[in-house]
Every structure is written in C-alpha cells, then in structure tokens.
Amino acid sequence: MADIPTLAPAQGVQLAEARKPRWPFVAALVLLLAGGAGAWYMLAPPNQEVKQDAASALPAGPALYVALDPPFVTNFEAEQLVRFLQITMQVMTHDPATVDVIKASDPVIRNDLLLLFSNQKYTEIATRDGKEKLRTQALAAVRKVVAANGGRPERVDAVFFTSFVMQ
C-alpha cells in the first residue's frame, strides 16, 4: 500500500487537547502570596519611629487653662454709635511649659488681643460665624506671641470665650 503522507504539527503550536487550564495554579499562587504578605504584616515588629512621632504629637496630660484676667473691654463703632465689647477668655494647652510662657507674656498677649478686638465690626461679630472667626484670629495672635517668646506655638491648643458681651 501507498504511504499516506501526514503533516507534523508546526513548532510552537499546541493542540487543543494538550492545553490544560492554568487558572487553579494562578489562583493558588495569588492566595499564597497574599497569605504570606498578611503574615509578615502581622508578625513584623512595629516601626518604633512612627510610634515615637505619634506619641510626641499627642497632647500629654490633662488640659490646662490659663485665664486672661481681667476681661477685655474695648469700644468700637457701629452705625454711628459707640459700642462696647467685653470678652472674658481662657487659653487651653496640655503643656505646663506653655502655661509658663503664656503667663510670662500676659501683657503682650493682652495688647495684641485688645488691638484685635477693637478693630471688629459690629455686624460681623454679631453672628456665630463672626465670633468663631474672631476666636480663630485670637488663637493665632496668642500663638504668635508664644512663638516670639521662645515657646512652642503648636502647644497652644485653643482659646475659649467664656463671656462675650456687646452693648
């Protein structure tokens, strides 16, 4: 009988029967890598530098309040009338050294705050938003004085108006 020629498969071409699904292998590999990364994250020692930075950024100890006594009294014009503003306020910090700087700088702080309060307009500070804006400006003024006197301005946490009277 005559030989029937047959074709050999081309190089690099695989027959459909020879292909086997690889996705179970890939899925197992991905799960293995994810598990290894999770285990490493859970068992690795914590970064000490991050812990120290976080601890230094947090306020230490209880809140300390410094009353700026006597109350601030200033006058300002509103619609051709002379108005009076009386503000009692306290400064909050968590740092005893900042308390000392605030107390030592009391005359300068009072001067800067009086100048700030006397430059206000009645229509602006009559609203809650105006009072909050004024409180933010007062905090910036106190921090500026603390920085100028060798303190750490970021340690001045807040100022609070404990009394706010307009006449």
Reported as a single tens digit per residue, the pLDDT across 95-148 is 999 999 999 999 999 999 999 999 888 888 999 999 999 999 999 999 999 999
What would the pLDDT profile of 94-106 be if each residue is shown by its tens digit? 999 999 999 999 9
Q: Which residues pair with 92 in a beta bridge?
A: 65, 158
Which pLDDT belongs to residue 92?
Answer: 97
Closest CA to 123 of 110, 107, 134, 139: 134
* Cα first-last separation, the chain: 124
Split at pLDDT 50, 70, 90, the class of 71 is very high
- In this prediction, residues 79-101 reach a mean pLDDT of 92
Q: Which residues pair with 84 in a beta bridge?
A: 75
Split at pLDDT 50, 70, 90, the class of 50 is very low
